[in-house]
């Protein structure tokens, strides 16, 4: 039970920290630069609590994912890392997608929901998916116009894909080290 409490508290801190600026801009602005550190600390504490809570949450099976979903999930995680890389490396795709990091989080979260049918996973990855979707809505309402990145190139799309693939490989190795082998036989 304590694992679930920590998981939910972590989600609340992480999401609340991210949305504070969007939902209470005057309060956030009144905090000045010192507020950035406090909000970042709350989000970091939320992330740590999510990891601890998730790792300690008792296993409650909700559904059993079919084995073939692993392939789809791996592809979605790779796409998620590619979008994260595109947020720093302006390719032609990054000129078409406004919220590259949030799109990456959505792809990553859906991937994990496809292959994890336990309650803790549904809470964690479902919350991250909901956070990313609502964040896009909040940002688009606050800042309806978007200037597309200039000088986008296909070459940068390829570079971003390679960076995403390397990060994917590192994360897959970490998952394997932790006992969660991400590749089916």
User: CA 90 to CA 47: how far, in whole Å?
Assistant: 28
CA angle 20-101-30, nearest 5°?
Answer: 20
Strands (E) across the chain are located at none
pLDDT of residue 179: 84
The better pLDDT of the pair 175, 103 is held by 103
Average pLDDT in the 111-130 region? 97
pLDDT of residue 151: 73
Give long-range contacts, CB 8 A cutoff, 24+ apart: 87-91: 88/160, 89/156, 89/159, 89/160, 89/163, 90/149, 90/150, 90/151, 90/152, 90/153, 90/156, 91/152, 91/153, 91/154, 91/155, 91/156, 91/157, 91/158, 91/159, 91/160
User: CA 172 to CA 15: how far, in whole Å?
Assistant: 25
Q: Note the pLDDT tens digit of each residue in 25-59.
A: 888 888 888 888 989 999 999 999 999 999 999 99
Enclosing H/E stretch for 171: helix 154-177
Annotate 27-65 with DSSP letters as a single string: HHHHTHHHHHHHHHHHHHHHHHHHHHHHHHSPP-B----
- Residue with structure tokens 């998730």? 54
pLDDT of residue 169 exceeding 70: yes
User: CA 9 to CA 86: how far, in whole Å?
Assistant: 31
pLDDT of residue 185: 64
């Amino acid at each position: 039970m304590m694992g679930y409490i920590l998981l939910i508290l972590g989600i609340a801190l992480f999401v609340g920290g991210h949305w504070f600026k969007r939902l209470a801009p005057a309060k956030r602005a009144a905090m000045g630069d010192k507020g950035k550190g406090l909000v970042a600390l709350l989000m970091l504490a939320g992330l740590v609590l999510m990891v601890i809570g998730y790792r300690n949450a008792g296993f409650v099976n909700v559904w059993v994912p079919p084995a073939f979903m692993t392939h789809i999930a791996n592809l979605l995680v790779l796409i998620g890392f590619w979008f994260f890389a595109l947020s720093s490396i302006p390719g032609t795709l990054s000129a078409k997608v406004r919220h590259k990091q949030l799109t990456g989080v959505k792809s990553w979260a859906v991937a994990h929901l496809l292959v994890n049918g336990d309650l803790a996973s549904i809470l964690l990855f479902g919350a991250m998916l909901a956070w990313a979707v609502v964040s896009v809505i909040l940002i688009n309402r606050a800042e309806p116009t978007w200037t597309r990145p200039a000088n986008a190139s296909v070459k940068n799309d390829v570079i971003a894909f390679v960076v995403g693939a390397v990060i994917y490989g590192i994360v897959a190795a970490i998952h394997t080290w932790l006992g969660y082998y991400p590749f089916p036989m």
